[in-house]
Chain A
Amino acid sequence: MSPSLSRWLWHAVAIALLTVLGGALYLASKRIDYTWRWERIPQYLISTEGDDQTAPFDGFVAVSEDGKQLSMTALRGAETVQFTGFSTIVAGNGDLVFEGDVIAKTDAVSAGPLLVGLWLTLKISALSLVFALLLGLIVGLGRVSKNPAARDLAAFYVEVIRGTPLLVQIFIVYFFIGTVLQLSAFAAGVVALAVFTGAYVAEIVRAGIEAVPKGQTEAAQSVGLSGVQIMRYVILPQATRRILPPLAGQSINLIKDSSLVSVMALTDLTKAGREVVSSTFSPFEVWFVVALMYLLLTGVLSVAVRRLEKRYAVQG
Chain B
Amino acid sequence: MTQTTMNDAGTVLIEAREIEKRYPNGVLGLKCASLSVRAGEVVVIVGPSGSGKSTLLRTFNGLESITGGEIVVDGHVLHQRSADLRALRQRVGMVFQQFNLFPHLTVLENLCLAPVKVLKLSAAQADERARALLAKVGLSNKSDCYPAQLSGGQQQRVAIARALAMQPAVILFDEPTSALDPEMVGEVLEVMKQLAIEGMTMCVVTHEMGFARAVADRVIFMDAGEILCEDAPDAFFGAPKHERLQSFLRQVL
Q: Mark A212-237, 1 if CB is under 8 A from B, else 0.
A: 01011011111111100100011001
Q: Is A315's CB under 8 angstroms from B148's CB?
A: yes
- A223-B168 Cα distance, complex, nearest whole Å: 9
Q: Is B90 an interface residue (CB 8 A)?
A: yes
Closest chain A residue, CB of each to CB of B97: A215
**Of the residues B103, B117, B148, contact of A225 by C-beta under 8 Å:** B117
Known A-B contacts A238-B103, A315-B104; A225 and B98 likewise in contact (beta carbons under 8 Å): no
Known A-B contacts A218-B63, A315-B148, A316-B147; A224 and B166 likewise in contact (beta carbons under 8 Å): yes
Binding site for B on A (CB under 8 A): 213, 215-216, 218-226, 229, 233-234, 237-238, 241, 314-316
Q: Is B242 an interface residue (CB 8 A)?
A: no
Q: Which residues of A contact B166 (CB under 8 A)?
A: 223-224
28 CB-based A-B contacts, threshold 8 Å:
A213-B98, A216-B100, A216-B102, A219-B96, A219-B100, A219-B159, A221-B63, A221-B85, A221-B89, A222-B89, A222-B92, A223-B162, A223-B163, A223-B165, A224-B87, A224-B89, A224-B118, A225-B117, A226-B118, A234-B102, A234-B113, A241-B104, A314-B146, A315-B104, A315-B147, A315-B148, A315-B149, A316-B147
**Of the residues A221, A223, A233, A315, contact of B103 by C-beta under 8 Å:** A315
Q: Is A233's CB under 8 angstroms from B92's CB?
A: no
Q: Is B86's CB under 8 angstroms from A224's CB?
A: yes
- A216-B61 Cα distance, complex, nearest whole Å: 15
Q: Is B94 an interface residue (CB 8 A)?
A: yes
- A316-B103 Cα distance, complex, nearest whole Å: 5
CB distance from A235 to the nearest CB of B (A): 10
CB distance from B5 to the nearest CB of A (A): 22
Q: Is B101 an interface residue (CB 8 A)?
A: yes
Q: Which residues of A contact B118 (CB under 8 A)?
A: 223-226, 229
Most buried by A among B90, B103, B162, B166: B103
- A234-B218 Cα distance, complex, nearest whole Å: 36
Q: Mark B115-149, 1 if CB is under 8 A from A, else 0.
A: 00110000000000000000000000000001111
Q: Is B61's CB under 8 angstroms from A222's CB?
A: yes
CB distance from A104 to the nearest CB of B (A): 66
